[in-house]
């Protein structure tokens, strides 16, 4: 019982170490990785190399795949580009198998204690805490591998006739290979870690419990089971993202099928590379672990080398299997990019939230366009357009709450100072965007009061209202550009200049309205409604300016 607990504890520590190490690497290079994925996928070969490099960097094919699915969901990568990246991720993930095989070849715990010490010192100092987190995670990983090796020796399954006879009863035939392939798929899907299953497979092989053929069948199953991560992440995403996740499954299933067709000769070839006879009764743990790592690498490299030329065909297949969803109503509340299943790392989550904020601002622009329609509408159309504006106001409240809650969940993670600052700025952005929605709804209600009281604006008032409308529209368009673009490309001075013109227009019209009412050009009620509209538009200009300041990292003290 103690040995079983030691085995399970070592596996848990292995998974935790991989997670800490991967998250630390992503925090250190999150923005650069996103830039790499977005910019270095100009063709299928560069896409494969990019996927492999990113996966080696973060030590997690699941993180790369989920990030890729999210990029497709955000329309930053095409389906063809994403397929090539995922192929590369499958190659990059083989590095984990080599790290584990190294752990089975010598007493790797010898270097763990120094890594633990350096890691904790760096974490405590704070300046290089992400490097410390990485070393801490790596130490846990190496320590877990050492414990697994020791546990395997203690288990000594090869000396237990019941265990040996149980696995020997399966024989070495295609039926057994298919069974172990299925077991590998199910276990990986349940554990959600192909690295953990690879470690278990190495333990079983090194202790003589299973043959190299059965171990390789488990590894093949792990390749299929690991695709569940991306498919789960994409369940609530858009059509292209779901197709990307399915392409990952198609890629690995195809690879398993062709390996099954030449299974025994292929395994013999792989074992020959590491100088091992797969049919021999006695092999060392080092040979067995290196044979598994070699198979994992050969499988993914050959599979990618073949399928890289068939990316258009894979794209057509997944498009045929997954049809687009029915178009949703434009006025219906929904989040485009934030999906709970996709949130995997803080860096990626912040990126998703920023894309959602862009959608939020675009909807506020649509709401603003509806105000123009409302002003010009007939008595019959007025209630319908007013109802649509009311829906948009409700939508703005719900978007603020949903994005805010999402950012709150992200904020609970261990974040870099830069990411914390981004979240604070984004919380301010959504608050101001919601205020813009409230302001537009106030304008709509003022239009309704004007209609109910049968107030008719003069030509001069109408022209002035149009002038103010166009100024606010210019500010809104500028705000949307800033939110969707790179911050370094925009200067806050342009937004300040537009806001200055809005303020000047409000002051000029306020003075003119007082004089016109004094001179009985129009009634006091008329002037009050007109100035309520102008005043509300000026408030909108302030909210727009606040959004631009938050996005560009400018405060009133800086102005």
pLDDT above 90: residue 540:
yes
Same domain? For 425 and 472 the reply is yes
Q: Structural domain of residue 77, as residue ranges?
A: 2-321
Is it the case that residue 19 has pLDDT exceeding 50? yes
CATH number where 412 lies: 1.20.58.220
Residues 150 and 210 in one domain: yes
For residues 302 and 400, membership in a common domain is answered with no
463: exposed, middle or buried (Cβ count in 10 Å: 0-12, 13-18, 19+): exposed
Percent of the chain predicted with pLDDT > 70 = 79
Contact in structure between 86 and 249 (CB atoms under 8 Å): no
Does the residue 433 lie in any domain? yes
Question: Which pLDDT value is given to residue 414?
Answer: 72
Rounded CA-CA distance 106/366 in Å is 64
Q: Is residue 331 part of a domain?
A: no
Domain count of the fold of the chain:
2
Q: pLDDT averaged over the chain?
A: 81
Residue 307 sits in the same domain as residue 353: no
Which of these three, 321, 354, 386, is where a domain ends?
Answer: 321
Q: Do 139 and 50 lie in a common domain? A: yes
Average pLDDT value for residue range 358-366: 92
User: How far, in Å, CA of 558 to CA of 496, rounded?
Assistant: 12
- Percentage, residues of the chain above pLDDT 90: 29
Of residues 439, 518, 516, the one with CA closest to residue 475? 439
**CA neighbours within 13 Å on the CB side: how many for 243?**
28
Confidence of residue 141 (pLDDT cuts 50, 70, 90): confident
Q: What is the pLDDT of residue 166?
A: 64
Which tens digit of pLDDT belongs to each residue from 397-416? 888 988 988 888 888 777 77
Residue 275 and residue 403 share a domain: no
Is position 327 within any domain? no
User: Do residues 140 and 266 share a domain?
Assistant: yes
pLDDT (average), residues 217-223: 88
Band the pLDDT of 330: cuts 50, 70, 90: very low
Examine the fold and report which residue of 275, 305, 321 is the final residue of a domain before the chain moves on. 321
Q: Is the pLDDT of residue 40 over 70?
A: no
For residues 378 and 463, membership in a common domain is answered with yes
Which tops the pLDDT comparison, 377 or 199? 377
Whether 362 and 273 share a structural domain: no
User: What pLDDT does 383 receive?
Assistant: 92
Q: What is the pLDDT of residue 328?
A: 41
Q: Give the range with max mean pLDDT: 60-74, 99-113, 234-248, 503-517.
A: 503-517
**Per-residue pLDDT tens digits for 80-117:** 888 888 888 888 888 877 877 766 665 666 667 777 78
Residue 332, domain member (yes or no): no
If asked whether residues 129 and 273 sit together in one domain, one would say: yes
272, 305, 321 - which closes a domain? 321
Give, as one character, the DSSP assignment of residue 327: P
Please check whether residues 306 and 350 belong to one and the same domain.
no
Within a domain: 335: no
pLDDT band per the 50, 70, 90 thresholds, residue 366 = very high
337 lies in some domain: no
Q: Nearest Cα to 79, choosing from 269, 318, 251?
A: 318
Which conformational region is residue 171 in: left (phi greater than 0), alpha (psi within -120 to 50 degrees), or beta? left
Summarize pLDDT for 467-476 with one digit per residue, the tens.
999 999 999 9
Least Cα distance to 209 among 273, 256, 264, 151 occurs for 151
Q: What is d(CA 25, CA 98) in angstroms, rounded to the nearest whole number?
A: 19
Does residue 221 form part of some domain? Answer: yes
Q: Is the pLDDT of residue 461 over 70?
A: yes
pLDDT at residue number 329: 44
Residue 277 lies in a domain: yes
Residues 365 and 495 in one domain: yes
């Amino acid at each position: 019982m103690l040995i079983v607990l030691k085995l399970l504890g070592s596996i848990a520590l292995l998974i935790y170490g991989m997670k800490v190490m991967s998250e630390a690497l992503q925090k250190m290079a999150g923005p650069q990785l996103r830039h790499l994925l977005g910019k270095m996928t100009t063709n299928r070969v560069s896409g494969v190399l990019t996927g492999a490099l990113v996966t080696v960097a973060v030590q997690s094919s699941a993180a790369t795949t989920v990030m890729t699915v999210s990029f497709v969901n955000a329309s930053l990568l095409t389906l063809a580009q994403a397929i090539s990246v995922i192929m590369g991720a499958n190659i990059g993930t083989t590095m984990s198998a080599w790290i584990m095989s190294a752990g089975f070849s010598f007493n790797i715990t010898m270097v763990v204690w120094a890594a633990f010490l350096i890691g904790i010192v760096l974490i405590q100092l704070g300046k290089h805490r992400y490097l410390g987190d990485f070393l801490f995670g790596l130490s846990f990983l190496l320590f877990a591998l050492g414990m697994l090796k020791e546990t395997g020796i203690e288990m000594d399954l090869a000396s237990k006739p019941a265990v040996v006879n149980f696995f020997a009863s399966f024989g070495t035939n295609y039926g057994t290979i298919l069974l172990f392939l299925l077991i590998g798929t199910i276990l990986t899907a349940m554990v959600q870690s192909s690295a953990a299953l690879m470690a278990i497979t190495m333990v079983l092989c090194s202790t003589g419990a299973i043959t190299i053929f059965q171990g390789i069948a488990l590894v093949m199953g792990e390749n299929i089971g690991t695709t569940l991560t991306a498919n789960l992440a994409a369940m609530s995403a858009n059509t292209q993202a779901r197709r990307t996740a399915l392409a990952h499954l198609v890629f690995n299933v195809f690879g398993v099928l062709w390996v099954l067709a030449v299974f025994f000769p292929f395994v013999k070839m792989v074992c020959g590379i590491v100088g091992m006879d797969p049919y021999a009764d006695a092999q060392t743990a080092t040979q067995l672990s290196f044979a598994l790592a070699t198979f994992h690498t050969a499988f993914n490299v050959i599979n990618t080398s073949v399928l890289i030329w068939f990316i258009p065909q894979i794209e057509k297949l997944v498009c045929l299997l997954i049809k687009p969803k029915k178009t949703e109503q434009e006025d219906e509340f929904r989040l485009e990019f934030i999906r709970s299943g996709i949130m995997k790392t803080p860096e990626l989550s912040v990126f998703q939230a920023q894309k959602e904020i862009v959608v939020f601002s675009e909807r506020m622009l649509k709401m603003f366009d509806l105000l123009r329609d409302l002003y010009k509408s007939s008595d019959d159309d007025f209630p319908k357009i007013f109802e649509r504006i009311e829906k948009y106001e409700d939508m703005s409240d719900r978007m603020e709450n949903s994005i805010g809650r999402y950012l709150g969940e992200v904020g609970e993670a261990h974040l870099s100072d830069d990411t914390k600052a981004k979240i604070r700025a984004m919380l301010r952005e959504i608050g101001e965007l919601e205020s813009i929605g409230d302001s537009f709804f106030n304008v709509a209600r003022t239009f309704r009061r004007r209609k109910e009281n049968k107030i008719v604006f003069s030509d001069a008032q109408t022209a002035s209202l149009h002038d103010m409308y166009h100024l606010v529209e210019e500010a809104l368009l500028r705000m949307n550009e800033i939110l969707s673009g790179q911050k370094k490309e925009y200067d806050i001075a342009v937004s300040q200049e537009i806001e200055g013109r809005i303020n000047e227009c409000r002051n000029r019209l306020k003075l003119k309205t007082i004089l016109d009412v004094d001179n009985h050009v129009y009634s006091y009620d008329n002037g009050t409604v007109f100035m309520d509209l102008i005043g509300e538009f000026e408030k909108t200009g302030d909210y727009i300016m606040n959004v631009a300041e938050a996005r560009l990292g400018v405060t009133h003290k800086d102005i």
